[in-house]
Amino acid sequence: MEKIKAVQIESPDKLRIIEMNKPKIDSCNNVLVKIKAAGICGSDVGIYKGTNAAATYPRVIGHEMVGEVVETDGKTEKIKVGDRVIIDQVTSCGTCYACRHGRPNVCQNLQVRGVHIDGGYREYMAVPEEDCYILPEKLRYEDAVLIEPTTIAVQACSRAELKEEDELLIIGCGALGSRMLSIARLYGCKIIVADVVDEKLEDARKNGADFTINLLKENIEEKCKEYTTEAYGPTVTIDCACTKDSLGTAIKVTGNAGRVITMGFSVAPTEVTNFGITSKELDIRGSRLQNRKFQEVIDLVDEGKIDLNNKISHTFKFTDAQAAFDFNDTHDPSIRKIVLTMDE
């Protein structure tokens, strides 16, 4: 059987390039995609480091994956050979409580490509037609990788029920926080961005943030009062940093009756108090993955409402994945988004 190369995390901190059987299409996975590019996400780093509680090993990781359709079963309706596509990472059972209530992204039997089942750091994938979305013509493969983290941002803003009247705090302005900003600004609300890197905060101001806070140099609670109407505090806080202290910080600074969106997957204990939540009657809401948001983001790109071009800071060949993860570990301030490219 023909073999292909893939990047596998055998166990925490153990990355290797393996050979695996080239997938074949069948009645379920009826589209064969030659992967062209795949992004490195914080959750991929968590799997590599052993801090992602959802992951199973060994695992071919990668859930931000784009490529070219090279074969179908001949029965596809919207996808044809030659199409440039992005692949939905979510697979669900369709029958559990969450699925029946329109939330397959938190299916009781959820299997995420690159987390629970093998993902996109490989040369080919066979997937169902319904999980493929045609890419905007204006995007290179490398840039199109950003559609997936943008769907995560759309999901979080949906969970937050973000409105124009809100005053939003985004904690963290890395790859996820930057995508969150690009979506949040479409709502027309006031936006405050907090981070520890001045260069990222400068980028945030250029890209629509009304105010920024350097967490190492400024008191976030005081600044949130200064920047919000009548010192009320943010009405919505979205935690894109997902550090040990960020959820507690979000609860502390968010104003009464506000919403706090948490997206992290760490199982490390974090200190929060009942009083901090109950006294202000805060809504603490998780936001996981995305709920069929790909077409929504693709439409936003096509309409010119968001720009995903030239946001990738670094690319590596996928066979150099170890070097890419090592570089990511340096936390170099120039890092915005790292993408692995599959063509040799």
Question: Secondary structure of the chain in the HEC alphabet?
Answer: CCEEEEEEEEECCEEEEEEEECCCCCCCCCEEEEEEEEEECHHHHHHHHCCCCCCCCCEECCCCEEEEEEEECCCCCCCCCCCEEEECCEECCCCCHHHHCCCHHHCCCCEEECCCECCCCECEEEECHHHEEECCCCCCHHHHCCHHHHHHHHHHHHHCCCCCCCEEEEECCCHHHHHHHHHHHHHCCEEEEEECCHHHHHHHHHCCCCEEEECCCCCHHHHHHHHCHHHCCCCEEEECCCCCCHHHHHHHHCCCCCEEEECCCCCCCCCCCHHHHHCCCCEEEECCCCCCCHHHHHHHHHCCCCCCCCCCCEEEEHHHHHHHHHHHHCCCCCCCCEEEECCC
Is there a single domain that holds both residue 121 and residue 10?
Answer: yes
Q: Is residue 300 part of a domain?
A: no
Residues 6+ apart with CB under 8 A from 269: none
Q: Is residue 293 part of a domain?
A: no
Is there a single domain that holds both residue 76 and residue 203?
Answer: no
Q: Is residue 202 part of a domain?
A: yes
Q: Is residue 297 part of a domain?
A: no
- Residue 241 φ/ψ, nearest 5 degrees: -90, -40
Is there a single domain that holds both residue 142 and residue 275?
Answer: no
Q: What is the pTM of this model?
A: 0.93
Mean pLDDT of all residues in 157-161:
98
Is there a single domain that holds both residue 157 and residue 68?
Answer: no
Q: Is residue 291 part of a domain?
A: no
Is there a single domain that holds both residue 260 and residue 318?
Answer: no
Is there a single domain that holds both residue 88 and residue 155?
Answer: no
Is there a single domain that holds both residue 13 and residue 136?
Answer: yes
Mean pLDDT of all residues in 224-229:
98
44: tokens are 């991929």
CATH label of the domain that carries residue 210: 3.40.50.720
- pLDDT per position as a tens digit, 161-179: 999 999 999 999 988 999 9
Is there a single domain that holds both residue 112 and residue 203?
Answer: no
264: tokens are 């992290």
Is there a single domain that holds both residue 157 and residue 265?
Answer: yes
Burial class (CB in 10 A: 0-12, 13-18, 19+), 323: exposed
Is there a single domain that holds both residue 278 and residue 183?
Answer: yes
Q: Is residue 267 part of a domain?
A: yes
Does pLDDT of 135 surpass 90?
A: yes
Does pLDDT of 309 surpass 70?
A: yes
CATH label of the domain that carries residue 13: 3.90.180.10
Does pLDDT of 227 surpass 90?
A: yes
Is there a single domain that holds both residue 192 and residue 169?
Answer: yes
Q: What is the mean pLDDT of the chain?
A: 96
Is there a single domain that holds both residue 94 and residue 117?
Answer: yes
Task: Give the per-residue pLDDT at 344.
Answer: 58
Q: Is residue 331 part of a domain?
A: yes
User: How many domains would you assign to the chain?
Assistant: 2
Domain of residue 41: give its range: 3-146+309-341
